[in-house]
Structure formats: C-alpha cells, structure tokens
Amino acid sequence: MLVALWQGQRIEAEDAPRDGRYHCPGCRGEVILKRGRKVCAHFAHKASTGCVGSRGETRAHLALKSLITQTLRRRGLRAEPEYTMGRVPWERRADVMVWAPRSNIPVAIELQRSSLPIRELEQRAFSYCRMGVAQLWIPFLQPQTWDSAQRCDEEGWIVPRYAPRQHELWIHGLNNHEGYWMADPETRQFWRAYPEAHALTVKEALWYEKGAIKRYREPTTRLSKRYRNLILRGPFSLDDLKISFSERRPERSQYFNWPGGKIATFVQ
C-alpha cells in the first residue's frame, strides 16, 4: 500500500520518515516502510494478516498507482492514492481519487488486475454512483495478450480469439459498451481497447435423413460467446491524456448489473 497512518494522519510512503511507526488504515496493524531503488516506496504489513490491504499487490500495481497520482498532481490537480470516500468501507478505497478542476467532481480510478467477484465490482460501482463519484475502471493488459497480436494499421493491433475476463466485459458494459482503457503494467502506458464480436465459421454439411432424403446446410457464421477480437490502439502516455465525463443510465443484462450515474474516460 502507498498510504499508512502516522500519528493518526494519512501519510504517503514517498514522504514518510525512515524511523516512523506506521499503521494500516484498514486493520490498524503495524506496517513497515519499504523504500529502495528498484521498488516504489510503499508499506507492507509486519505480520501477515487477513487484511485486504495485504492482499497481493504487485510492484507494477503500486508503481502505476504512484505514476497516476504524480502525473495528475503535476497538472495541479488534487489526487490522492488509496482514498476512501465517506462511509464506504475501507476495502472499497479507490486506487486513485482525483478531483476535476472547476466542478470539483471526484473521479475514482480503479486499476483491475485480478478478477474480483463481479458482485463486488457492482457494489463498488453502485456506491460511487450514489455518492456522485465518477468512475474510471482500467483493466491490466496481460503480457500474453501480445503473443497473438497482429498489426492492423499504424497505431492499431488486433488480437483475434481473445477471451476477455469477466471484469473486462463488465467494464465494457459500464462504459456504454464503447470499449475501455487498459494499462500495461510493464511499460506503464495506456491502450484504448475495444472487444468486437468474433465470428466463427460453421462449415457446410451434407447428411441423409430417414427415407434417403438428402439434406444440405450452407456454410454460415455465428458470433462466438467466448471470444472477441480485441482491438488495441496506442500506446498512450498518461501525460497526453485528459479525463472526460459522461452520464450513463442504469442497465442490466443476463449476467451483469450497471448503475446509473457518472462515468469517466480518458481522451486525447
């Protein structure tokens, strides 16, 4: 985690004195400051606990949270890592909360590495909407995605037969089915992603029914339930992206539930 409690106040690992005593804002357990050349400054629980703040966070995740916070602050915006709004339970802290300059609308930026249960994402999304917080969900691009990527034009790649994770499909829906931004944790760059339908070819068939009636079915195509063609455009550095807002209506599908409220996205 990037933020701990020090003398009852939030303190970021970047600014924390080496000899301080720090506590986890969630479970109040003791945490230790880790700061080195290879890893971005952070806190780790002294003893392993069941605390959600100790749920495996990779170096890449920490580094990306820190990068987003610092980049937005350089623009003069108020940005806070690991921020909890109001009475939302601590485990629903946003990775980064940033406030829009004139309107002061808070925007929760959520980096999604692993598949949390969809119900958990939905609960979080509904509570942000209730509090008037705009939300921007960013799934992580998995390194193996590139194994089957093919160039489709100067700044575009296509990944055929891509199996989107559940949370990606949910985020796509949250964004009015207009795609989503993905973060590459290795390069710390951002990609515009769109999961378009993937067509499967159904071969022609010839068979005989009782009474020697000849039957023929022409080759056709149908849409795959499991696969998409993932279109990726980029990469973009966060320095070149701005945040924009829109409103979405509540919606539900067979599998997912989306609240009505403010959503945010990056624009160039």
Interacting residues toward Zn ion by CB under 5 A: 24, 26-27, 29, 51, 53
Which residues is 236 bridged to in the sheet? Answer: 190
Is 46 or 130 the residue whose CB approaches Zn ion more closely? 46
- Name the minimum Å distance from CB 238 to Zn ion: 29
Residue found by looking up tokens 């937005």 in the block: 72
β-pairing, 156-162 with 220-236? antiparallel
- Name the minimum Å distance from CB 52 to Zn ion: 7
Is 53 or 139 the residue whose CB approaches Zn ion more closely? 53
- Name the minimum Å distance from CB 13 to Zn ion: 15
- Name the minimum Å distance from CB 1 to Zn ion: 8
Structure tokens at 59: 């170096």
Is 94 or 159 the residue whose CB approaches Zn ion more closely? 94
**Count of other CB atoms within 10 angstroms of residue 25:** 18
- Name the minimum Å distance from CB 93 to Zn ion: 11
CA distance 47 to 54: 10
Is 53 or 179 the residue whose CB approaches Zn ion more closely? 53
CA distance 126 to 133: 10
- Name the minimum Å distance from CB 20 to Zn ion: 17
Is 52 or 241 the residue whose CB approaches Zn ion more closely? 52
- Name the minimum Å distance from CB 12 to Zn ion: 16
Is 51 or 97 the residue whose CB approaches Zn ion more closely? 51
Is 29 or 156 the residue whose CB approaches Zn ion more closely? 29
